[in-house]
């Protein structure tokens, strides 16, 4: 059982985190929906990679898009502890307060002798979204939203 100060501290941190997340998610800049979503840092458009993307598997395509752009899907459906751990730079998991769930494979492998360029893979994933009647729209700096076309 938690002590009273620890409980208060945990509730205060949770309230702050929820308020901050709501503020970040609600921010839309003018014309932002028209801007394309770029690749994540560390991945250049000409980098070669191998991608295993099934046109009929939307879940894998979303995971791959998250991996190649460095963004998360909005609305964020991760558990609250995982969100909090991400906000504090992974310190909760590092210090043993939280054990993250294993990450599912996105189907992307970045290496020098890949068959496709990173920009081509991103375009193919966006084509999968397009065939499903969806479009990826940026939402803030960390998220993207799949909206009907």
* Tens digit of pLDDT at every position of the chain (149 positions): 567 777 777 777 787 777 666 666 555 545 555 678 999 988 999 999 988 888 888 989 999 999 999 998 988 788 888 888 888 988 999 999 888 888 888 888 888 788 899 999 999 999 999 999 999 999 888 889 999 98
pLDDT given for residue 29 in this prediction:
47
Full strand arrangement of the beta sheet holding 48-51? 108-110, 48-51, 116-117
Contacts 24+ apart (CB under 8 A), 41-44: 41/70, 43/68, 43/110, 43/118, 44/118
pLDDT given for residue 71 in this prediction:
92
pLDDT given for residue 26 in this prediction:
55
The domains located in the chain, with CATH, are 35-76+103-148 (3.55.50)
pLDDT given for residue 19 in this prediction:
67
Query: Does the pTM exceed 0.85?
Result: no
CA angle 40–31–59, rounded 5-degree value: 45
């Amino acid at each position: 059982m938690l002590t009273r100060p620890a409980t208060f501290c945990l509730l205060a941190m949770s309230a702050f985190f929820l308020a901050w997340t709501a503020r970040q998610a609600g921010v839309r800049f003018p014309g932002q929906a028209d801007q394309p979503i770029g690749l994540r840092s560390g991945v250049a458009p000409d980098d070669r990679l191998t991608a295993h993307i099934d046109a009929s598997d939307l879940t894998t395509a979303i995971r791959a898009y998250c991996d190649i752009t460095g963004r998360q899907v909005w609305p964020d459906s991760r558990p609250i502890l995982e969100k909090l751990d991400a906000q504090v730079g992974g310190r909760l998991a590092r210090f043993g307060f939280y054990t993250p769930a294993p990450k599912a494979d996105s189907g992307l492998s970045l290496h020098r002798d890949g068959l496709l360029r990173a920009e081509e893979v991103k375009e193919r994933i966006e084509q999968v979204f397009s065939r499903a009647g969806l479009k990826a729209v940026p939402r803030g700096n960390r998220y993207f939203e799949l909206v009907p076309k």
